[in-house]
Structure 1
Amino acid sequence: MAQVLEFKLPDLGEGLTEAEIVRWLVEVGDVVAIDQPVVEVETAKAMVEVPCPYGGVVTARFGEEGTELPVGAPLLTVAVGAAEGSSGSAPSPSSSLPSSPSSGSGTESSGGSGNVLVGYGTGAPAARRRRIRPDRLDRAVAEAPVSVAPVVAAPVAEVLVAEAPVHEGPVPVVSPLVRRLARQHDIDLRRLAGSGPDGLILRADVDRAIRTVEETAAATARVQTPVAAVVAAPNGVAAASDAERIPLRGVRGAVADKLSRSRTEIPDATCWVDADATELMAVRAAMNAATGPSAGPKVSVLALLARICTAALARFPELNATVDTAAREIVRLPGVHLGFAAQTERGLVVPVVRDAHTRNAESIGAEIARLTELARTGKLSPAQLTGGTFTLNNYGVFGVDGSTPIINHPEAAMLGVGRIMAKPWVHRGELAVRQVVQLSLTFDHRVCDGGTAGGFLRYVADCVEQPAVLLRTL
């Protein structure tokens, strides 16, 4: 006999508590293999394809595309059959999968995958995978002891209707949280169709009912309110009733939270300087013009600036730090994990070059190029977006000269770089046309004073104007 197993949204690591369904990769009725990606979700840090640790027939999906689900919420259910015996006997219950994706069972009877994400799957090497014939899968679904309605197959509006029959006897709810949520939103559980085993009412059912009520109320309000009317927003700001509202969630929401926290907690200050980058551009051109087996790949301006930053942080370690507000301590960090701001279609992300202080310009440039490509395709992992100790922000790519960047919390400083452009400049006592760039340093005034910040920025500017200064200190 088959089992219908529930696969829940796993813990994706890095302290993430929720994810948004971007795209379903399977339909109800599809046959899935162990470790096959079944859904693409977006967290506050990255886009992730989630593999299912079970093999079988998808009997239900929970959540439409665009829905946010908390970690531990049901994603889908899979009807799993037993392995086919050599004599063609009926499937054996002892060879079926464990009933919980987080059980971590490592017994031979477990069919769970050994390739796990944080918080689910098996803890031991994967058991031998069993191939189930389609005809046995069809019979497994028919014989499954747990009946689960395909959630996505039914319109949302059918979840809660005024004419729905009232439950007789006890309402099939076991969770106090579900009861409290329904009570807070005036949802009559007796008129709710449960999508869990044996009609059990789950939190997802109540959430859908709440959304249905809210959408109905909103549609009614739109019909009754003139288009030109002006309403008061919850924050007291007047807004047209037809104004577009964009939820702050996913990457955009994470950026908003981090920037708000930075401005709330960090007493930041900014200093800036114009630097003559003509010599730096000439050195880069000479590097990239070199030929022969030792020439290596091309070096970008960003890679050179990153290498200059690591040298400057070695001289001014006060800026490679963070502040422990609870302990009222400045924590100076031993290594430089250099973040760099990258604008993508999904928003602003800051990939991190690990151990940048141990790399040369060529190595840093190669890592920046690799991480930039992952950012462009939305394949950066959460670990590649966290743990930075200092950030380099090249906003010159947007054609602007200067900015006062916001520190990437919980770091202590960020160096901003404007566009490099030809400007009149006094060079060796004469007016000349030079390649000039504006550098701006925003720093946490708790970790150092203006003298330290100015010394850091001046050293960076000196290396830009005279690259031999950097060579002398290598």
Structure 2
Amino acid sequence: MHIFKLPDLGEGLPDAEIVEWFIKPGDVVAADQLMVSMETAKAIVEIPCPESATVVKLYGQSGDIIHTGDPLVEFSEEGAVLPTKADRKSQPEPVKASTSVVGELHTSEGKLKETAQSVSGSSIGVKATPAVRALAHRYNIDLSIVTPSGAHSTITAADVERVVKIFADVGELVPLKGVRRSMAKAMTQAHVEVVPVTIHDDANITAWFAQGDITVRLVRAMALACEAEPSLNAWYDSHAIGRRIIKPMHLGLAVDTQDGLFVPVIRDAQSYTPQELRDKINTLKELVSQRKIAADDLRGNTITLSNFGSMVGKYANPIVIPPTVAILGTGSLFQQLAYVKKGDHQSGIVEHTLLPLSLTFDHRSITGGEAARFLAVLMTDLALDS
């Protein structure tokens, strides 16, 4: 028998989720025949069969997470005797490589679904007897989340059983998968690493908004602001405590979908004409909606734009995802009356259309002055009539 293990699908990714199998045990497959589609880092990768052989066993089902280097498919060697249908039925089911543990537990209270262990799995400093620890392990309860009621802050069996009942009441834990899992990891990294500061202001876009393309104008304004303050178009290396200031603006454009948040990248965004930029944005959004966007189009951005205001909200605190150091968020348009003096003897009340801006930057790499000057250049360009 020969076992095919999940290869590294790009840049040292630790795992991937099975989206769909195109083969099954007993199939005779040919080399390069489509075998399985896997989702990793927000992209779906199709893996072909590595050889011409007979499929003996699949290690996982749709939705399972397989770690890089773990078994994925077992093939028969040339001349090997294949297991019969009865043999395959008698074999145990493949062990799932999911981060959750699925099954049933029998307790005095009835049957409970097992829950996934916490990300940390930490119980350092927790006081509990070996029997209580074994009980917690049986129910997959992280002792660090259990409130002790015993003497000297010791966790008792009753404490563990109380948590088991609570989890039974609130329902089964549903592990995040696919795009949402990738997003959760990215946000955790951002929370641990980045020192975020957000500046809010309103850009006056009265002169052009009625006929203009807001996203396209924002990209142009961001390109000018990056030219004036290059430090915001950069990557920060927390290990080396240094930054790489990047000349071309590779813009990450946040796109919301039912599956989660995607950030396709427009490379050299500063070089596009307005029409070319609009066409590029439309193409990327369509690829995202069809889940056909290439992995290379989802990485390498140097700064990010999030138009959350297309749904709701004026201001936000957008999250900077390492290694980038800045993200601009735009809120919902609103109108405001303003007193304008037109000359020595002329004045009046006019209505302005304002675009709320929220600029978050990593204060490890960028000073407040640099961020403020970036935003000032951006707002000045947005106020122009053409």
Contact 1:403 1:416 in 2 (8 A): yes
Q: Kindly indicate whether residue 182 of structure 2 is the aligned counterpart of residue 254 of structure 1.
A: yes
* 1:343-382 alignment runs, 5 A limit: 343-382=256-295
> 1:269, CA displacement in angstroms?
0.7
Q: Kindly indicate whether residue 169 of structure 2 is the aligned counterpart of residue 242 of structure 1.
A: yes
> What secondary structure sits across from 1:279 in the alignment?
coil
| Residue 263 to residue 62, structure 1, CA distance change in 2 (3 Å) | closer
* 1:180-191 alignment runs, 5 A limit: none
Task: Show CA shifts across 1:224-277 (max 9, x none).
Answer: 67xxxxx98755277442324221343212211221221221211111111222
> 1:303, CA displacement in angstroms?
2.2
> Who is 1:145 aligned against?
80
> 1:216, CA displacement in angstroms?
3.5
Contact 1:251 1:346 in 2 (8 A): yes
> Who is 1:421 aligned against?
334
Contact 2:219 2:270 in 1 (8 A): no
Which amino acid is the alignment partner of residue 32 of structure 1?
V
> What secondary structure sits across from 1:159 in the alignment?
coil
Output the CA distance in 1 between the equivalents of 2:282 and 2:383: 25
Contact 1:32 1:55 in 2 (8 A): yes
Output the CA distance in 1 between the equivalents of 2:287 and 2:273: 21
| Residue 77 to residue 386, structure 1, CA distance change in 2 (3 Å) | same
> Who is 1:71 aligned against?
68
TM-score computed with the length of structure 1 as normaliser: 0.63
> 1:150, CA displacement in angstroms?
8.0
> What secondary structure sits across from 2:191 in the alignment?
helix
Task: Show CA shifts across 1:286-314 (max 9, x none).
Answer: xxxxxxxxxxxxxx421221122112101
Contact 2:24 2:55 in 1 (8 A): yes
Contact 1:337 1:352 in 2 (8 A): yes
Output the CA distance in 2 between the equivalents of 1:279 and 1:423: 14
Q: Kindly indicate whether residue 151 of structure 2 is the aligned counterpart of residue 216 of structure 1.
A: no
* 1:61-460 alignment runs, 5 A limit: 61-78=58-75, 144-145=79-80, 147=82, 154=89, 159=92, 215-217=103-105, 220=107, 223=110, 234=143, 236=145, 239-244=166-171, 245-284=173-212, 300-426=213-339, 430-460=348-378
> What secondary structure sits across from 2:240 in the alignment?
coil
Larger radius of gyration: 1
The gaps in structure 1 that reach 5 residues or longer are 82-143, 161-203, 226-230, 285-299, 469-474
Contact 1:262 1:410 in 2 (8 A): no
> What secondary structure sits across from 2:209 in the alignment?
helix
TM-score computed with the length of structure 2 as normaliser: 0.76
Contact 2:60 2:96 in 1 (8 A): no
Which amino acid is the alignment partner of residue 454 of structure 1?
A
| Residue 63 to residue 356, structure 1, CA distance change in 2 (3 Å) | same
Bigger relative CO (Cα 8 Å, ≥ 6 apart): 2
Task: Show CA shifts across 1:187-246 (max 9, x none).
Answer: xxxxxxxxxxxxxxxxx65979x95xx6233x5476167xxxxx9875527744232422
Output the CA distance in 1 between the equivalents of 2:249 and 2:199: 22
Equivalenced residue count is 334
The gaps in structure 2 that reach 5 residues or longer are 113-138, 147-162, 342-346
Output the CA distance in 2 between the equivalents of 1:371 and 1:152: 48
| Residue 275 to residue 28, structure 1, CA distance change in 2 (3 Å) | same
* 1:27-38 alignment runs, 5 A limit: 27-38=24-35
1:464 to 378, 382, 385: 382
Output the CA distance in 2 between the equivalents of 1:334 and 1:80: 53
> 1:79, CA displacement in angstroms?
5.0
> 1:344, CA displacement in angstroms?
1.4
Contact 2:64 2:97 in 1 (8 A): no
| Residue 72 to residue 253, structure 1, CA distance change in 2 (3 Å) | same
> 1:59, CA displacement in angstroms?
3.2
Q: Which deviates more from structure 2 when the two are superposed, residues 361-370 or residues 423-432?
A: 423-432
> 1:318, CA displacement in angstroms?
1.1
Taking only aligned residues, the RMSD between alpha carbons, in angstroms, comes to 3.1
Percent same amino acid among aligned pairs? 33
